[in-house]
Amino acid sequence: MSFRSRLTLFFVLIVIVPMVSLTFVLFRLIADNANGKADARVAARQDAAINLYDDARSRADAAATKVGGDVPLATALQRGRRPEVQRRAQALLNQLNLTRILITSGSQVIADVGSPTAAFPATRKLVDRTGRTFGQLQLAAEGPRRYADLVKQVTGLDVVVTTNGRAQATTLPGGTDARLPDGRGTVDLGGKQFRAATFDVPAFAGQKSRVTVLDSEARITADVRRSRLLAAFLLTGFFILAFIFAIAVSRSLQRQIAGFLDAARRLGSGDFKAQVPTVGRDEFASLGAEFNRMASKLEEREGELRTEQNRVASAMRRLGEAFESNLDREGLLEIVLRTALDTTGAVGGRASLRSGADGPLDEVAQAGDLGPLADALHAAESQVLEAAAPREVSVGDVTALAHPLRAEGDADGELPRIVGIVAIARVGGEFTPAERELFHYLAGSSAVSVENVGLHRLVERQAVTDELTGLSNRRRFQDAMDAEIERSRRFGAPVGLVMLDIDDFKKVNDSYGHQVGDLVLKEVARILQDLSREVDEPARYGGEELAVVLPGTDLEGAYNLAERVRIGIEGLRLPVIDDSGSPLNLTASFGAATVPGSGVDSRALVEAADAALYEAKRSGKNRTIRAREVSSA
């Protein structure tokens, strides 16, 4: 087969066949892409509709708090005066710009004012002073029609709001009676195809509303048609250009190959002065020029290699200096190992650190296959621990280098201690002096970085920890409480808060001294820490006052935790003898509060828990008071 025939076959196999296949695949991908974009668009618009629903519910929740706390309404409800309840509910409806207020007791309606088609209600239980539930309050700040128009304005999609299968509002012309799909799907409305996404929301009186967003399929079909026409136009243009280019390249290649063949024949006949033709500036010309320059470049390349070796050594030293400011110990040691392997010819290595001041060495980084190197590495590491100095050990045909990582001694003259070891090994001869020097430099620099990491982590921990009790300090406590309350606002989960104050703590300090007072604080903090969950945030709030934030905990849960801690403190026996010869007994008073029950933000939550705490103090101490009991009083 001639060269031209091979080029023709190559053109058919590389250009024509892939282009035909690409056309089918591309058309299918265009359709799939358009459908995917449509699904993503509907999903995104559905999320927007859900966010608008959440906004409506949030407004209703805020209004429910005000209505639930309305004294005239509560008084009329407790006295059973339905006409007054109805009038007060109507006044609140107008005053707060609500769409409906529904008050029920069991299946009995006490008051119902506003539009019967109002949607997205907030629900509150009605509780009397004794804690007995005597009714339920539901109110809405949004109507389905206004919500549908707002969703259409924000998303550009049509919306249908139904309650128990009956359409309450729609942005479709002429409305709709068709059955809408659950979740996501397609539906035919008035002879038009729509992609639909539905989500359910609670409605009044135990009913359920459904919100459906609709995207027209006609837009998707038009997008697919336009994209396919554009793709067909581009593919056709590409085929024409490829055909013209193939003819030009074929002729050029034939001429260049003929020139190379002639030069090769002259070289084969012994004419070493023959030069490979270098006509033009393409790859063939470059190839010929490189062959002609190959011999003269060998010596030049050798000099460049020596220069490159010096450059690598200099770069390694600069890298070692950079290690001293690095804060990732494991990542740093892994870089040290891989750099050492690349520059010394070693085939494997590992780095070990102590988990504590006197703890054992644990491997934290590894490079290469350590199987055949294990004995030599272990021997080198053992000698480093014995001599507290770098060592090189050979076991059989394996040579290992090990370097200790030292921490600085203290101001009293304590010697530097070994906090870790970096070791590498290879099969074959010993390491050269230059290789040993470079390895020890890298390992020594990494020791400085390891110490900096420890200092950095210590400073971070001290910044948020109370030095005496080991609990979180007030700054960390405030940040944790703000974060949990924000999460509660977004997801609706409760957040509990317990505040405690050690009873007669000033008397302990005055009678036994501040050292005993510090011991009392430490023991109380230990009990609080032991009885708290991992997700809780116990903290020293100030002086002898401690607190704990309880994510996902309601008022009863916070009260139960406070009681467990109170009992633990009451049973605490310290090795301190008072004037009567008895051990020192301790008690503490507690206040428990929760969001949203006791407040809506961190300040209100702390005030509620603090008020409950001081009510416990006034009531005789050594007890827990719920914030709700304080507000009822």
Point out the least confidently predicted range of 3-17, 42-56, 121-135, 563-577: 3-17
Strands 573-577 and 583-585: antiparallel
Helices (H) then strands (E): counts for the chain: 16, 21
Which pLDDT belongs to residue 618?
93
Query: pLDDT tens for residues 299-349?
Result: 455 556 666 566 566 556 545 545 544 556 677 778 878 888 877 888 899
190, exposed or middle or buried, with CB in 10 Å at 0-12, 13-18, 19+? exposed
Instruction: Please check whether residue 77 is in contact with residue 110, taking contact to mean a CB–CB distance below 8 angstroms.
Output: yes
Provide the CA 171 distance to its chain's centre, in angstroms.
39
Query: pLDDT tens for residues 229-284?
Result: 887 778 788 778 877 777 777 766 766 677 667 766 666 665 556 666 666 666 66
Tokens of 414: 């304590």
- Residue 179: count other Cβ atoms within 10 Å of its Cβ: 8
Q: What is the pTM of this model?
A: 0.36
- DSSP, res 381: H
**Residue 166 phi, psi dihedral angles, 5° rounding:** -110, 130
Instruction: Please check whether residue 512 is in contact with residue 576, taking contact to mean a CB–CB distance below 8 angstroms.
Output: yes
Instruction: Please check whether residue 174 is in contact with residue 67, taking contact to mean a CB–CB distance below 8 angstroms.
Output: no
Instruction: Please check whether residue 383 is in contact with residue 418, taking contact to mean a CB–CB distance below 8 angstroms.
Output: no
Distances (CA, A) of 233 to 221, 244, 465: 19, 17, 68
Query: pLDDT tens for residues 558-597?
Result: 999 999 999 999 988 877 655 555 677 889 999 999 998 8
**Residue 624 phi, psi dihedral angles, 5° rounding:** -115, 135
Instruction: Please check whether residue 76 is in contact with residue 90, taking contact to mean a CB–CB distance below 8 angstroms.
Output: no
Q: Which residue has the tokens 């056709």?
A: 236
CA angle 344, 348, 354 (to 5 degrees): 105
Instruction: Please check whether residue 99 is in contact with residue 143, taking contact to mean a CB–CB distance below 8 angstroms.
Output: yes
Half-sphere exposure of 21 (CA within 13 A, CB side): 7
Helix (H) or strand (E) holding 474: helix 474-491
d(CA 423, CA 378): 9
In percent, the amount of the chain with pLDDT more than 90 equals 12
pLDDT band at 413 (very low <50, low <70, confident <90, very high): very low
Instruction: Please check whether residue 120 is in contact with residue 100, taking contact to mean a CB–CB distance below 8 angstroms.
Output: no
Tokens of 488: 């509660």
- DSSP, res 142: B
Q: Tell me which residue of 404, 310, 314, 416 sits closest to 357, measured CA to CA.
A: 416
Distances (CA, A) of 159 to 154, 177, 191, 199, 377: 11, 13, 17, 12, 71
d(CA 184, CA 403): 63
Strand, coil or helix: what is 480?
A: helix
In percent, the amount of the chain with pLDDT more than 70 equals 78
Q: Which amino acid appears at position 57 of this protein?
A: R
Instruction: Please check whether residue 589 is in contact with residue 501, taking contact to mean a CB–CB distance below 8 angstroms.
Output: yes
- Residue 584: count other Cβ atoms within 10 Å of its Cβ: 17
Counting every residue written for the chain, the total comes to 633
CA dihedral 483, 484, 488, 493 (to 10 degrees): 160
For residues 350 and 174, the model is more confident at 350
User: Which strands form 361-368's sheet, in the order they lie side by side?
Assistant: 361-368, 348-354, 417-427, 398-407, 391-395
Integer distance in angstroms from the first to the last C-alpha of the chain?
104
Q: Tell me which residue of 59, 18, 29 sits closest to 147, measured CA to CA.
A: 59
Query: pLDDT tens for residues 498-548?
Result: 999 999 888 888 888 888 888 888 999 999 989 999 888 999 888 889 999
Instruction: Please check whether residue 417 is in contact with residue 406, taking contact to mean a CB–CB distance below 8 angstroms.
Output: yes
Provide the CA 26 distance to its chain's centre, in angstroms.
36
Which pLDDT belongs to residue 624?
93
